[in-house]
Amino acid sequence: MQQQLRYVQEKCPFHFLRFHGIFDDDMMVYQEDSKGNPTFNFRYVNELFDFLLSIGLKPFVELGFMPSALASDQSKTVFYKPSYTSPPKSLDKWCKLMEGFIYNCFNRYGRREIESWRFEFWNEPEFSVFWSGTKEEYQEFYRATYETLKKISSRLQIGAPGRIITLESNEYGAEFFSYCQEHSCIPDFLPIHFYPHEELNLNLDNMNQMFITQTYENMLSNFTGISPNPDYLKTSLEQENGLSTLNQTAFLRAT
């Protein structure tokens, strides 16, 4: 993978790289001792960031998923190598992990560098397969994380929620931004995910059911059939920008 990234950067360089799983168990970031006290290990995180920066890529960090030792429900996972998708068993311990993570990055790379990165809060929480909690739990989870990071530096760039704009998830976004306005935690940018498959234009309940009930092979069939519309991305962005007045106001404030 590193060889492939080096090749891409040589032939067609990018500015940022977004990825899943910075706190997955493979990264060995979070453990608890016999008394339940958290311990942090950022060795693999630093090795990853060292490499990305060495080839001219800034990390676009997705804050997730949950370390298994911090997950409130370890039965809620996604992917072949499990990523844990439940809320934290302790919001306080999660916020301490966020503090440790950011201060580790400050100490290693400098405050100004980290303030130029992007931090997306969770992946597609509208899907139960990626977020097993409620919408209300996600909102409170986001707010606690936002406030923790902004206390460290108001210049940290935090975006949420990472939604797929080719799904009928406008209501989810409108409720989220209403919450953010009420609690003064408007995100700094809006991360949006785009798939050029018109078959994905389903409601969230149907998509969640598809993830739960279908085999992986059958599920992949929903990702076939690229839209014949060459302006599908443009159209989707126009629809996203044409949300309710509340959502649009939040968008303008966030950008």
> Could you give the domains of the chain?
2-254 (3.20.20.80)
100, two tokens = 């440790």
Chain segment 182-202, per-residue pLDDT in tens: 999 999 998 888 888 776 555
- Please report, in tens digits, the pLDDT of each residue of the chain (255 residues total): 999 999 999 999 999 999 999 999 999 999 999 999 999 999 999 999 999 999 999 999 999 899 999 999 999 998 888 999 999 999 999 999 999 999 999 999 999 999 999 999 999 888 888 899 999 999 999 999 999 999 999 999 999 988 887 766 667 778 888 999 999 999 999 888 888 877 655 555 555 555 555 565 666 666 666 788 899 888 888 877 765 344 544 444 444
pLDDT value at residue 192: 84
Chain segment 159-169, per-residue pLDDT in tens: 998 888 776 66
Residues marked active site are found at 124
Check: CB of residue 159 under 8 Å from CB of residue 118.
yes
